[in-house]
Amino acid sequence: MSENNSLVATYANHTLAKATVKKLHKAGLDMSKLSIVGKDENKILKKVTMVGDLNELGAEQYSCVSRETIPDYEAELKADRLLLFFHGTADEISQAKSIIDTTHPEGWNGNVGCSVYYGCLD
């Protein structure tokens, strides 16, 4: 059975994205499992990987990107939004999602919340 072990949240507000990362860190989540994709002049947290393009994600995180959503995420990046990628155990994803949901990230499809992908590599 597939587990939820990766999620993506989209942020138009860079300050809100940074605040979310701080909340994830404060909750004790492993920041090495978190990557931010987008252009931002300021480093979000020292232990968080910041990349400018989807292709620069680590293999585990990139393998979890649905090929159907790549054009949508690329459009988000062109609109100067940040994409927060987190890869972990089902419990870590559940904890991260509950924190992210409290910050109300903007979904590219107009919905509030984040997308959770299924069946990614552990």
pLDDT of residue 68: 82
* Structural domains of the chain in order of their starting residue, each with its CATH number: 4-118 (3.30.70)
Identify the CA nearest to 85 among candidates 119, 49, 110. 49
Residue 118 has pLDDT above 50, yes or no: no
**pTM (2 d.p.):** 0.79
pLDDT of residue 52: 87
pLDDT digits (tens, 9 = 90+) for 28-55: 999 988 989 988 766 667 778 888 888 8
Identify the CA nearest to 34 among candidates 94, 79, 95, 85. 85
pLDDT digits (tens, 9 = 90+) for 81-96: 888 888 888 889 889 8
- With the C-alpha atoms ordered 114, 116, 120, 122, is the resulting torsion angle positive or negative? positive
**What spatial distance separates the first Cα and last Cα of the chain, rounded to whole Å?**
13
105 within 8 A of 114, measured Cβ to Cβ: yes
**Nearest-10 Cα torsion for 74, 58, 52, 100:** 70
pLDDT of residue 66: 76
Residue 76 has pLDDT above 90, yes or no: no
